[in-house]
């Protein structure tokens, strides 16, 4: 397994007397996983993914990334790991600094060893996929709109072609169309290349519709790690950690309350719901 947490704890400041992350055990492969991480504000989601990118080091426990052990203090060069694990930050618009949008997208790939031409090609590909309009490519990135900046920042990570892609609340600030496009692109990347994709989100529809595995964090602890289906069928868990249901499931729930349909396992998408309504689903 490429990402391996064993009893990992983390605190931001050694004087702090509680752990931001507590006894984390987690393994993630670099192939064929599509994971969503959920949990309320301040539960440690962003901290967890920064550990996966070796931007911060565990305070205790064993963290291994692509075979390299990450020690609490001094570490061997980490550039390789950061190349393999691409992380899009929660507020990625902070990182833009180049003269033009295009150059900024090419910055990451070049750092990770691509030549200028390769970087440009890779960048242009992503730009097309993300539907970033050509006319902003030569503009300085600073006076783009918030959503445009975010797209540019995401493109910068996608262009360096990491093996694992982590996005920290990537859809915040995008319009519905941009949101859909981004998620569809991620799904496409996942299906075509089998890369592992990890998304932090507060949107249960994303959890239900895109991910195969979901991790719930609560006060620095992993309290659930399983399929979205299991999560949304676990009423106690949802209630205890203040998680919502996806829209479709809500609809299904009220239909069930009215006695119009019946099901064992709550439907997560429109097709499942349709099947229940038509009575085609025999579980």
Partner 1 sequence: MNKMAFGQFYNSNSLIHKIDSRIKIIFTILFMISIFLVPTNNFILMGSLFVFTFFIVLLTKVPLNKYLKSLKQIVFLLVFAFSFQMFFRNEGTVIFSYNLNFTWINITISIILLILYILFNKYLPLKLLILVLLAILIIYILGIPMNANVINNNPVVIRIYKEGIISGSFIILRVLTLIIFTTILTLTTKPTDLNNGIESLLSPLELLHIKTSIFAMMISIALRFIPTLFLEADKILKAQASRGVDFNEGSLREKIKQIISLLVPMFIVSFKRADELAVAMEARGYVPGEKRTKINLMKLKFSDILWLILFIIVLVGLIILRVLI
Given the rule CB under 6 A, which residues bind ligand ATP? 12, 20, 39, 41-47, 90
C-alpha–C-alpha distance, residues 176 and 173, integer Å: 9
C-alpha–C-alpha distance, residues 105 and 118, integer Å: 12
C-alpha–C-alpha distance, residues 58 and 5, integer Å: 10
C-alpha–C-alpha distance, residues 158 and 112, integer Å: 12
C-alpha–C-alpha distance, residues 30 and 25, integer Å: 17
Q: Between 32 and 138, whose beta carbon lies closer to partner 1? A: 138
Count of residues engaged in binding partner 1, rule: CB under 8 A: 27
What is the SS3 assignment for 23?
Answer: strand
Among 39, 61, 108, 267, binds partner 1 (CB under 8 A): 108
> Closest separation between CB of residue 183 and partner 1, Å?
21
C-alpha–C-alpha distance, residues 278 and 272, integer Å: 10
Q: Between 19 and 272, whose beta carbon lies closer to ligand ATP? A: 19
Give the Å distances, CA to CA, from 40 to 43, 46, 108, 144, 276. Answer: 6, 11, 31, 30, 32
C-alpha–C-alpha distance, residues 216 and 24, integer Å: 12
Would you tell me how many other CB atoms lie within 10 Å of the CB of residue 67?
Answer: 9
> Closest separation between CB of residue 6 and partner 1, Å?
23
Which residues in the 55-94 window bind Mg ion by CB under 5 A? 90
Count of residues engaged in binding Mg ion, rule: CB under 5 A: 2
Among 92, 170, 228, 246, binds partner 1 (CB under 8 A): 92
> Closest separation between CB of residue 49 and Mg ion, Å?
8
Among 30, 46, 64, 221, binds Mg ion (CB under 5 A): 46
**Is residue 57 within the footprint of partner 1 (CB under 8 A)?**
no
Q: Between 18 and 133, whose beta carbon lies closer to Mg ion? A: 18
C-alpha–C-alpha distance, residues 143 and 151, integer Å: 14
Return the one option of Mg ion, partner 1, ligand ATP, none that residue 42 interacts with (CB less than 5 to 8 A, by type). ligand ATP
Reference 208, options 253, 268, 262; nearest CA is 268
Q: Between 18 and 257, whose beta carbon lies closer to partner 1? A: 18
Q: Between 36 and 43, whose beta carbon lies closer to ligand ATP? A: 43
Using CB under 8 A, list all residues that contact partner 1. Answer: 13, 50, 53, 55-56, 77-79, 82-83, 86-87, 89, 91-92, 94-97, 107-108, 111-112, 142, 156-157, 160
């Amino acid at each position: 397994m490429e990402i391996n947490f064993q009893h990992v704890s983390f605190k931001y400041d050694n004087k702090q007397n509680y752990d931001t992350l507590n006894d984390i055990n987690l393994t993630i492969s670099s192939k064929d996983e599509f994971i969503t991480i959920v949990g309320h504000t301040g539960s440690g989601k962003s901290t967890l993914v920064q550990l996966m990118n070796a931007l911060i080091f565990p305070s205790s426990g064993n963290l291994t990334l692509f075979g390299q052990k990450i020690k609490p203090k001094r570490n061997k060069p980490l550039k390789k790991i950061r190349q393999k694990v691409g992380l899009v930050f929660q507020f990625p618009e902070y990182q833009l600094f180049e003269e033009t949008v295009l150059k900024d997208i090419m910055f990451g790939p070049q750092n990770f060893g691509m030549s200028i031409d390769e970087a440009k090609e890779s960048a242009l590909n992503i730009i097309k996929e993300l539907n970033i309009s050509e006319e902003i490519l030569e503009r300085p990135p600073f006076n783009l709109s918030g959503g445009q900046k975010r797209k540019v920042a995401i493109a910068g990570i996608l262009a360096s072609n990491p093996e694992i892609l982590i996005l920290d609340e990537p859809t915040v600030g995008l319009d519905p169309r941009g949101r859909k496009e981004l998620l569809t692109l991620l799904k496409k990347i996942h299906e075509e290349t089998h890369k592992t994709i990890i998304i932090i989100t507060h949107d249960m529809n994303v959890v239900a519709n895109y991910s195969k595995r979901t991790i719930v964090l609560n006060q620095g602890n992993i309290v659930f790690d399983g399929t979205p289906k299991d999560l949304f069928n676990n009423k106690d868990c949802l209630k205890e950690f203040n998680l919502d249901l996806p829209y479709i499931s809500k609809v299904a729930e009220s239909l069930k309350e009215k006695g119009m349909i019946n099901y064992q396992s709550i439907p997560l998408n429109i097709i499942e719901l349709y099947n229940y309504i038509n009575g085609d689903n025999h579980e």
